[in-house]
Amino acid sequence: MYAEERKRQIASLTAVEGRVSVADLAEKFDVTAETIRRDLTALHTEGVVHRVHGGAVANQAFLTSELPLDARSRSASGAKNAIAQAALKYLPEHSGAGIFLDSGTTTAHFAGLLADHVAGRECSIVTNSLPIALDLSTAGLNDVQLLGGSVRAITQAVVGGTALRTLALMRADVAFIGTNALTIDHGLSTADAQEAAVKSSMVTNAQKVVVLCDSTKIGNDYLVSFAPLDAIDVVITDDDAPETFVAELRRNDIEVVLATT
């Protein structure tokens, strides 16, 4: 495991558990205590965790609260529509393509445009979103698969072991992923560990990862990181995204699309 990946996992573990120890982390990652101390010092300097004697505690800057789905749907709706339109370019052209479609309000906007653009083409769409699955199936698409598992009421997303086991057996040409937040240090993050696990599995099992993220989410940092920058191929955001942030994404070899609102 690379050092940056180890540090990302340490940051997420600290955020979820509240406190971690040098000894436990050294055993978990099979490295020396001195290596873990250097990692924690670096994360403390970056403001990701707070270094304490023998380990680290979570930085309280991580966000944990979530708005209900209907409230999030109304937020930045113009930007979300523009991002959804721009995302159509990344739909696979070949017959028999596989698509992962993550839960979220921006991905829901995108799902609303899908039926007209994949009509007549053979493609499989796999989602963990109840409303997206319903919209796509009633729009006449024949191969829409809803993952099984438990449903989170606040996001109407399917999560849990059944969903993860199913995704582990699947591969997709492209994953369209939503996120609560995007930063350079923490990558993509969200508030719930179970939802993060499903997002992470979609990212891992897709050839191309396209992130749909309006500019209000840039610079925020939620509790659980589910994908580092090097797992992302494309970020589609709106033209209010900070120029310095966009430049930094591009320096990390990420294609950035600025959708005009």
Residue 195, token pair as written in the block: 């939802």
Q: Is 150 helix (H, G, I), strand (E, B) or coil?
A: strand
pLDDT of residue 5: 74
Listed residue (32, 29, 20, 16) closest to 56, CA to CA: 20
Q: Which residue is listed with tokens 């659980």?
A: 224
pLDDT in the model for residue 203 = 98
Note the pLDDT of residue 89.
Answer: 95
Angle (deg, nearest 10), helices 3-17 and 22-29 = 130
> Torsions phi, psi of 35, nearest 5?
-60, -45
From first to last of the 261 residues of the chain, give the pLDDT tens digit.
678 778 877 876 776 577 899 999 999 899 999 999 999 999 888 777 888 889 998 765 566 666 556 655 555 678 899 999 999 999 998 888 999 999 999 999 999 998 777 766 778 999 999 999 999 988 878 789 999 999 999 899 999 999 999 999 999 999 999 999 998 888 999 989 999 999 999 999 999 999 999 988 887 788 889 999 999 999 999 988 888 889 999 999 999 999 997
Q: What are phi and psi of 121, to 5 degrees?
A: -105, 145
Closest by Cα among 261, 176, 185 to 228: 185
- Cα 215-217-222 angle, rounded to 5 deg: 165
Q: Where are the domains of the chain?
A: 3-58, 69-259
Selection from 195, 197, 231 nearest residue 211 by Cα: 231
Containing 125, the helix (H) or strand (E) segment is strand 123-127
Identify the pLDDT of residue 67: 56
* CATH of region 3-58, choose from 2.60.40.10, 1.10.10.10, 3.10.20.30, 3.30.430.20: 1.10.10.10
Contact 137, 128 (CB under 8 A): no
Can you give the pLDDT at residue 90? 96
What number does CATH give the domain 69-259? 3.40.50.1360
Cβ atoms within 10 Å of 68's Cβ, excluding its own: 11
Q: Please report, for residues 42, 54, 67, the alpha-carbon distance to residue 24 in angstroms, rounded to integers and kept in the order given.
A: 18, 10, 34
DSSP string, 5-41: HHHHHHHHHHHHHSEEEHHHHHHHHT--HHHHHHHHH
